[in-house]
Chains A and B, each alone.
Chain A
Amino acid sequence: MRPGLVFLVSRATAELAGLKELTTEHRRLGEIIEMIHTASLIHDDVLDESDMRRGKETVHELFGTRVAVLAGDFMFAQASWYLANLENLEVIKLISQVIKDFASGEIKQASSLFDCDVTLDDYLPKSYYKTASLVAASTKGAAIFSRVQTDVTEQMYEFGKNLGLSFQVVDDILDFTQSSEQLGKPAGSDLAKGNLTAPVIFALEKVPRLREIIESEFCEEGSLEEAIELVREGGGIRRAQELAREKADDALKNLQCLPQSGFRSALEQMVMFNLERID
């Protein structure tokens, strides 16, 4: 999805600048973004000790931790090299920031495991660091290479950020609502690890019993299932869906500076497609 976004934003903004074709920089940006994204997934799976991703075995499950760590490092390194060779300082800083943000997000998450006092003000920045930062950097980068004006690149940044946040919230909802076959990994896995996401944060406001169960780290038999049910009953899913829609609406607004075109519509559809996952 991410390279697709880069190309769509490239084309949608190119019109404003009178560009006819995608540049090599645009293409390279798409590759770099995807490499960084993949590297982060490989490392995340090591940290989370996940053996499945998208219905298949993870890299470290197949090849061991050592290979997984090195593969991730390799991809981050290669991506950084290609980025530097684009020789655009603004884009270099933008994307380098993302790699910093990945680490910040993971650390933030690890230091607040099972902490029932987390609020939306903790969750949103964390989700930004983990997901939205990369999307925002890629959409802004694409606009920069299209040579459009600053107010447009800033809008593209906001678009990427809001789309990224909406996407993360939807992911967090699906962790509750989908079955393990659909998810490609066990359901409720975020919660089981103590990673408290939007649905849980909302439900904790209404259901005191949920806090007890989480603080006990689900040591009682059947308590994880009970917690998932309580999240549902406490309106956690519903309110998280509202949050996802809110961010999606913000993303759509950010697109208004772009001229009407097939590309702009495609971007709008990407926003809507993300929401359809939770309808």
Chain B
Amino acid sequence: MSSNKLIQPPSTTASLGAISRRRGNAKMLFSFINFNGKTLSFSDKPFRLRPMFIGKVTEQSFSASSPNEQEVVEEEEEDITVSQIKEELYKALEEIESLVKLLECRNPTPEPTGELDKIGGCWKLVYSTITVLGSKRTKLGLRDFVSLGDLLQQIDIAQGKTVHVLKFDVRGLNLRDGEFRIVANFKIISKSSVEITYESSTIMPDQLMNIFKKNMNLCWESSTPRDYLRSHI
């Protein structure tokens, strides 16, 4: 197997809106890297990806970008203009998205709810096309006050529970370890789907609960576990 490098998707939760492109129906694609070392993704079906498999996929879709080309790109970095860089970025995004779709089609687990142990554990969001723009962005303080960190998801198969943790900073309040937690339960309802019920959401530290209480439903909407879970199942 040749050693083509898989381009690591950037962890973009912290840069919501930075590489944002609005689609007609805001599609959500997720790529989660399991902390246990497995790499899994995307929209409808989970499956296990071994390094060999990754190599194969990249070879097929990266026919145009051989390692040589990548070197050339690096050399010419200084000559490249801002709009050219943006173009490359958009192209890279398209490649990521088409890779995601490709992997979706290769799901080896057609009845995922029978093999839920594959998605148990702690997950970190690595790539997302979600953007928080407009009035939501203003109301959640994302323009001037709040900067987002990692989004983690803990899935406990035995208890049928998931806990979403969105980390954030509020530099103005000297706050480094803020967390927005959403706890939800899930129940298997068919061979390939689960029903998700929201249980609770909290913001740590307590003082911030008051500030965000009014806009809690916005916080909830912007990071609803329903969609994140669907991306595994």
Contacts and interface: CB of A to CB of B under 8 A. Distances in A.
Contacts of B135: 112-117, 215
B172 interface: no
A219 B133 contact: yes
B138 A111 contact: yes
Contacts of A111: 138-139
Contacts of A220: 22
Given A112-B135, A215-B135, 4 more contacts: A114-B133, A114-B135, A115-B138, A214-B134
B133 A113 contact: no
A125 interface: no
B138 A114 contact: yes
Interface string A162-179: 000000000000000000
Interface in B138-197: 138-139, 143-144
A217 interface: yes
Most A C-beta atoms less than 10 A away, residue of B22, B131, B139, B144: B22
Interface SS majority for chain B: loop
Contacts of A113: 135, 138, 143
B55 interface: no
Interface in A103-131: 110-117
B20 to A, nearest CB: 6
Contacts of A217: 17, 133-134, 137
B137 A219 contact: no
B137 A114 contact: yes
Interface of B: 17, 20-22, 131, 133-135, 137-139, 143-144
A116 B134 CA distance: 9
A223 to B, nearest CB: 9
A220 B17 CA distance: 12
Contacts of A186: none
A47 to B, nearest CB: 11
B87 to A, nearest CB: 13
A264 B134 CA distance: 46
Nearest to B144: A110
B22 A219 contact: yes
B138 A215 contact: no
A191 to B, nearest CB: 13
Nearest 4 pairs of A and B residues by beta carbon: A215-B134, A115-B135, A114-B134, A217-B133
A214 B136 CA distance: 12
A220 B133 CA distance: 13
Nearest to A111: B138
A194 interface: yes
A111 B142 CA distance: 11
Contacts of B133: 114, 215-217, 219
10 contacts: A110-B138, A111-B138, A113-B138, A114-B138, A214-B134, A215-B133, A215-B135, A217-B17, A217-B137, A219-B20
Contacts of B137: 114, 217
Nearest to A196: B135
Interface in A204-252: 214-217, 219-220
Contacts of A112: 135, 138
A202 to B, nearest CB: 18
A117 B218 CA distance: 15
Contacts of A219: 17, 20-22, 131, 133
**Most A C-beta atoms less than 10 A away, residue of B133, B135, B143, B144:** B135
Interface string A22-39: 000000000000000000
Nearest to B20: A219
Contacts of B21: 219
A215 B139 CA distance: 12
Nearest to B134: A215
A164 B134 CA distance: 29
A217 B21 CA distance: 11
A123 to B, nearest CB: 15
Contacts of A110: 138, 144
Interface string A71-93: 00000000000000000000000
Contacts of A114: 133-135, 137-138
A200 B138 CA distance: 18
Nearest to B21: A219
A216 B134 contact: yes
B22 A194 contact: no
A58 B166 CA distance: 40
B82 to A, nearest CB: 15
A227 to B, nearest CB: 13
B134 to A, nearest CB: 4
A117 B134 CA distance: 11
A127 B209 CA distance: 32
